A and B are shown apart, each in its own frame.
Chain A
Amino acid sequence: KAGVTQTPRYLIKTRGQQVTLSCSPISGHRSVSWYQQTPGQGLQFLFEYFSETQRNKGNFPGRFSGRQFSNSRSEMNVSTLELGDSALYLCASSLVTGPGETQYFGPGTRLLVL
Chain B
Amino acid sequence: QKEVEQNSGPLSVPEGAIASLNCTYSDRVSQSFFWYRQYSGKSPELIMSIYSNGDKEDGRFTAQLNKASQYVSLLIRDSQPSDSATYLCAVMDSSYKLIFGSGTRLLVRP
Which chain A residues have a beta carbon within 8 Å of chain B's beta carbons? 33, 35, 42-45, 48, 55-56, 58, 88, 90, 92, 97-108
Name 30 A/B residue pairs within 8 A (Cβ), A-sorted: A42-B101, A42-B102, A42-B103, A43-B44, A43-B88, A43-B100, A45-B97, A45-B98, A55-B96, A56-B96, A56-B97, A90-B44, A92-B98, A97-B96, A98-B96, A99-B31, A99-B32, A99-B92, A99-B96, A100-B31, A100-B32, A100-B49, A101-B92, A101-B96, A102-B34, A102-B46, A104-B46, A105-B36, A105-B45, A108-B43
Which chain B residues have a beta carbon within 8 Å of chain A's beta carbons? 31-32, 34, 36, 42-46, 49, 51, 88, 92, 95-103
A7 to B86, CA, bound (A): 24
Q: Once A and B bind, how many residue pairs between them come within 8 Å at the CB atom?
A: 55
A108 to B39, CA, bound (A): 13
Query: Taking chain A's interface residues, is the majority helix, strand, or loop, or is none over half, making it mixed?
Result: strand
* With known contacts A102-B46, A108-B43, A33–B32 Cβ distance under 8 A: no
Q: Which of B44, B96, B102 has the most CB of A within 10 A?
A: B96
Q: Which residues of B contact A48 (CB under 8 A)?
A: 96-97
13 new A-B contacts at CB < 8 Å, known A103-B34, A105-B44: A42-B101, A42-B102, A56-B95, A56-B97, A90-B43, A90-B44, A99-B31, A99-B32, A99-B92, A100-B32, A100-B92, A101-B92, A107-B43
Q: Are B51 and A33 in contact (CB under 8 A)?
A: no
A56 to B93, CA, bound (A): 11
Q: Which residues of A contact B43 (CB under 8 A)?
A: 88, 90, 105-108
A90 to B88, CA, bound (A): 14
Chain B residue with minimal CB distance to A6? B43
Q: Which residues of A contact B49 (CB under 8 A)?
A: 100, 102
Q: Are B101 and A103 in contact (CB under 8 A)?
A: no
